Amino acid sequence: MNKKLEQFAAKYNFALEKNRMHGTFNGYAVSAYGWSGMSTICLVGIHVFLGTKAGEVMNQFTLRLKKQLRLQQIGLDSSGVYFAFVPMTMGSMLKRLDEIFSAVTECLRSLEIDGSVCPYCGQPMEESIEVEDMHCRFRAHEQCFEGKRSQVQEAEKAEEELPNNYGRGILGALVGGLLGCVIFVILYMLGFVASISSFVGMVLGAVLYSKFGGKNNKVKILFVCIVPFIMILLTFYFCNVYTVAQAMAEEGIMGSASSMFWLLVQENEEVRSAVMSDFAVTLLFTIIGIVVNIGWMIGQQKKISSGMKKV
């Protein structure tokens, strides 16, 4: 384990695991996690009951603390306030955590928010258990935690039972793919390798699948990857055939441009290598698009209830 991280946790008496820590800072339950592997983002939770002061807290965060502490993704939950920041190194992360915890708890104190009560209900905690919610650990009433968990599970079940809307979703994927194809054609006509458009088509396909009402499930991953992929491949093919047709017209050659295209790919070394290298780059961007889409959708498909447990 990183020495600086261990020293930081020891200084504040925080419980430390590989990529998360939690404890009490300035009288408030706080936690931080992230910074593992490739990800350098650090997510922070302050576990307090906001009640009627939620609006005021949000104002302080968005109008003042966000800029001052360079915070991102500020959000409120029934278990407190959550946000993220992106440090460059472990050293700078710990330095900024120090500043962030001080400024944020100071702000909560100035708004007279009590850090000793249950984050869910705001009542004193004579009896409490340690729970895990939003990937963070803190103390709360067992009953309050169970109440939130069953609410979340009910909402997730209701969402599962919603119609899949495959038709509308596929329409969205088609429109997204079509936009990618339009960009492809424009770039192709201007003489560029249009590879980036396969990536654009994939990502737009995924966004529009949901915007058109398709549900975010495993089927979506399948459709938004396959539909734009086939469309881009067809566009790639037709653009090449169109170029051949134009060349044939200029030379006064009669016959089918698509057969001529295949003939050229088979017989002419120069044409073959040009087509193959364009195709390889298009394929590469398509694969990048697929990887981005899948990572993104799987992240969104994770259930909130799966991050909730009693410790």
Where does this chain bind Zn ion (CB under 5 A)? 118, 120-121, 141, 144
Give least dist CB 143 to Zn ion, A. Answer: 7
Q: Nearer to Zn ion by C-beta: 70 or 309?
A: 309
Give least dist CB 92 to Zn ion, A. Answer: 36
Give least dist CB 187 to Zn ion, A. Answer: 58
Write a three-state SS string for the chain.
Answer: CCHHHHHHHHHHCCEEECCEEEEEECCEEEEEEECCCCCCCEEEEEECCCHHHHHHHHHHHHHHHHHHHCCEEEEEECCEEEEEECCCCHHHHHHHHHHHHHHHHHHHHHCCCCCCCCCCCCCCCCCCEEEEECCEEEEECHHHHHHHHHHHHHHHHHHHCCCCCHHHHHHHHHHHHHHHHHHHHHHHHCCCCCCHHHHHHHHHHHHHHHHCCCCCCHHHHHHHHHHHHHHHHHHHHHHHHHHHHHHHHHHCCCCCHHHHHHHHHHHCHHHHHHHHHHHHHHHHHHHHHHHHHHHHHHHHHCCHHHHCEEC
Q: Nearer to Zn ion by C-beta: 57 or 140?
A: 140
Question: Which residue is closest to Zn ion by CB?
Answer: 118
Give least dist CB 119 to Zn ion, A. Answer: 8
Q: Nearer to Zn ion by C-beta: 150 or 164?
A: 150
Give least dist CB 160 to Zn ion, A. Answer: 28
Give least dist CB 22 to Zn ion, A. Answer: 18
Q: Nearer to Zn ion by C-beta: 58 or 121?
A: 121
Q: Nearer to Zn ion by C-beta: 126 or 270?
A: 126
Q: Nearer to Zn ion by C-beta: 144 or 275?
A: 144
